Amino acid sequence: MPNALYYEIAISNDEKPAFTKAMTKNAYMRTLFNQLNDEERLTYILKSIKKWNEFLHFNPNVIENLIPTLHLLLAKNEDIILYFQSMGLPPRPPINSYLFFNHEKEEIGSRQSWSDLSSIQKTEYAQQLAEIKNEYYQKLVEFVDQILASDYMRYEFFRNVKYAVKDYELAAKCEITDKNTGQLKLIEYYMLKNEMTNNLNQFNQIREKLLSTQLTNEQKNLVEDLSQLLYKYIT
């Protein structure tokens, strides 16, 4: 977990309290981690995900349902969005021109209120926001279709970023959720993955039986080579 990595790396042993319960320690680590700014949290989020990717690379036969998905690895939804933003997810613009005005007002430190604006000024804010939204929708489609190269990452994105499905469907003018079930159509990918996992389990059983027979060392090495090749393409 990113908070555990931060606690191990950034906190000196002298500053670490003694805990009698793991639950108390975990809560303490989360509290410290949540006090960090976005940039600091992202550093340990990326470290954590890199470690998991390395682990999965060297352990290709790990059962899929034992792999922590993003909502388990990253406790806060804000951290999940932060992670995808580090990959190129464009920031979502304000929903309406009133919120757009207030956001700009905070940035420049203005005391002017929305009611002070003329109808022409309000229309100008609406037009500016429309342009920003068009650019956002274009970048969002590019992010999903080009940067999120795998169905797994797309599934994680749509599953964890609440506004993602609605925005993407609007931007791409296509539906990615089943109207009858409300589920992402990407779930079909996981049905295929389950079938592949079953095939892999069957292969492992055959492999173990084969290795238990009287094979030469060269034959055993060939079996291992074939196994690694299969793991590479089926996982």
Separation of alpha carbons 146 and 92, rounded Å: 18
Tell whether pTM > 0.75. Answer: no
What's at 169, amino acid-wise? E
Separation of alpha carbons 40 and 25, rounded Å: 21
Dihedral sign of CA atoms 85, 89, 94, 100 in order:
positive
Lowest mean pLDDT among 54-68, 95-109, 159-173, 189-203: 189-203
Q: What is the pLDDT of residues 88-121, one digit of tens each?
A: 999 999 999 999 999 888 888 888 899 898 999 9
Instruction: Indicate the Cα dihedral angle 68, 69, 71, 72, nearest 10°.
Output: -10
- CB 75 within 8 Å of CB 30: yes
Q: What is the pLDDT of residues 176-201, one digit of tens each?
A: 677 677 666 654 544 555 566 666 67
